[in-house]
Chains A and B, each alone.
Chain A
């Protein structure tokens, strides 16, 4: 956990004061609706379909137990007793009162939390690998770099009124668990032959209505130049990014219009002026940030635990959970554990105040008082002793947080959708639930193996549907909710070699009631076609192509046959 120093803390406290004053002036009629909208967005406050929504920042997804307890308290005192973890590793409260928001922010500031830049056309929360610091394939701990970028981007005087929002992800391991290829800027740590650390810089990736995979802007950027180079990219974007059309305003569009070569030239010309200037990082600063992170005091333990192994043999339910929700750790005798927020019947990513408090206790007892939020909307206890796994499992199970489905079909990424969001064309949570109910047989789930299903309620793609192995997009057809199905998307190089890819729509959209059956057909096609259990759904799609799957879903003769559609509608 990064611990604020006095200056970090003052910055957050002063922002609370500033926002309280802005809210006061708005309520007194001294600030126009339009101006206040932009200002409140920069502090994470939306006005949604039914109520305001406050998005609280969880920088790079790292959270201390005392912070989670504070969120639990805030959710109970000012909201309806629950919160929603988002795909940007943040937390959203769906029902706060506008007038209460300054008080909520003041409470959050007491535990070094805030809502700074969680919305608006500025640099948003920096995201990263939820196994940062503990992964076996890690090159460096990406949290340190995320914090350096967080500080650089916080209240940046020049880049607070960009053409559009700006998302940066950092990955410090060999596998990419941060989906860097679908960010405005993606940074992948690379180690040069001489051992020097640097970044491969990707630019122009993103989802939304124009999904694009990011391109490499620079193969190797030595770490001291990180901030000057970011500044050069952001200045190029701020000056030349499109402002005439909100749907063409993300950096990906200007990268596409310029072409990567010209965009690189523009950035390099700008960088030539900034390089080696005062923003050049120094080793003292990297070390200073590093030492402000609390580090678990690991015990020296054997790499295996006898008792654990006996329990795994004896208890099939524990074994299932262990197989899916327990992850290897770089320190012998420890493991990382995912607490699943994807239990059937619960909106994906939602947690009650009681669960938050219980999870905070679990973190204190089993994982040095810290936890992480994953972009797949689950919670991670990153440093659990092997000997404590069984206890933890039992406790998590009684809290409804031990669904053994990480990586499996029911671990659905899902936006809040039409139940909450003012932008949505369709509901997404009931679709996730219907699929989870359909695939509720654990043996079947394990047989299907690893698959990502992502659901977005509109083309803004908060549920990352383009990069789901199966992506589901809610669309509006003459006022009715319909669902388009894509297959073949992939969020990134989680397994080396399989790069990020965008799904392709398989055909005409479906009514909500049809969706589980369509998923079932896609799965049956996969099971028929796979070479072995080791070949995952996405591998088969890439190997045999989407056509086969399409035929399976729509029927061979006439994919758009009305008879087939009627049949499906009653299935």
Chain B
């Protein structure tokens, strides 16, 4: 079974990421087991997917913002955000919006061209699960979360920017 990182631990990946094959056609949804479906399939066949045996998550392509699934977030234990190439940083905004604006508490998983050296900022943006691109040492990648422990900004992982954390406790949240 494939390995991934969840909550800073190596874990088995029980989810099937359903994505178009080389010819562009989508494999059939299995009758049971956990599956991550593309946004388009979710929109088209939500009821059928929810009545399957097994959990359903949705994955968003980098160009798909979170807005389309906001009304359904309560139904989704997992949202995956795809990085088609590691330099495509749109998913960082998607994750922050899911966590900070739409209050999503389920798993946000980075999938696709996910590199060890991006995990730290992904985690700060609200990702808590990472399916690394092949060829990387998953155990070794755990060290990434301990780099750059100081942060200036507010983010999904830290509600206050450093300049407010410097203020006395009672002053921090004032407008």
Contacts and interface: CB of A to CB of B under 8 A. Distances in A.
Interface stretch (A158-166, A338-346, A419-427): A158-166
Interface stretch (B11-19, B38-46, B52-60, B89-97): B89-97
B124, B153, B161, most chain A CB atoms within 10 A: B153
Interface residues of B, number: 40
B148 A15 contact: yes
Interface in A245-294: 273, 276-282, 284-285, 288
A97 B155 CA distance: 36
Nearest to A154: B152
B153 A35 contact: no
A157 B175 contact: no
B79 interface: no
B148 A278 contact: no
Interface string B128-154: 000000000100000000011111111
A157 B125 contact: yes
A239 B163 contact: no
A7 B121 contact: no
B74 to A, nearest CB: 21
Interface in B146-175: 147-155, 159-164, 166-167, 171, 173-175
A38 B92 contact: no
Contact of B93 (A239, A273, A281): A239
A11 B148 contact: yes
A110 to B, nearest CB: 18
A278 B160 contact: yes
A279 B148 contact: no
A235 interface: yes
A279 B155 contact: no
A38 B167 CA distance: 36
A524 interface: no
A22 B88 CA distance: 20
A440 interface: no
A141 to B, nearest CB: 18
A178 B51 CA distance: 61
Interface in A3-40: 7, 10-11, 14-15, 17-18, 21-22, 30-31, 35, 38-39
A156 interface: yes
B161 A7 contact: no
Contacts of A304: none
Interface string B86-116: 1111101100100001000000000000010
B163 A121 contact: no
Contacts of B31: none
Nearest to B90: A239
Q: Which 8 A-B pairs have the closest CB atoms?
A: A161-B89, A157-B124, A285-B163, A157-B121, A151-B152, A158-B92, A18-B147, A278-B154
Given A7-B162, A17-B147, 18 more contacts: A11-B150, A14-B148, A35-B86, A151-B152, A152-B152, A152-B161, A155-B151, A157-B120, A157-B124, A157-B151, A158-B121, A161-B89, A161-B92, A161-B118, A243-B88, A282-B163, A284-B166, A288-B163
Interface of B: 65, 86-90, 92-93, 96, 101, 115, 117-118, 120-122, 124-125, 137, 147-155, 159-164, 166-167, 171, 173-175
20 contacts: A14-B148, A14-B149, A35-B115, A151-B152, A151-B162, A155-B152, A157-B122, A157-B124, A157-B155, A158-B155, A159-B92, A160-B121, A238-B92, A239-B93, A273-B101, A276-B175, A278-B161, A282-B164, A285-B163, A288-B166
Interface of A: 7, 10-11, 14-15, 17-18, 21-22, 30-31, 35, 38-39, 121, 151-152, 154-163, 227, 235, 238-239, 243, 273, 276-282, 284-285, 288
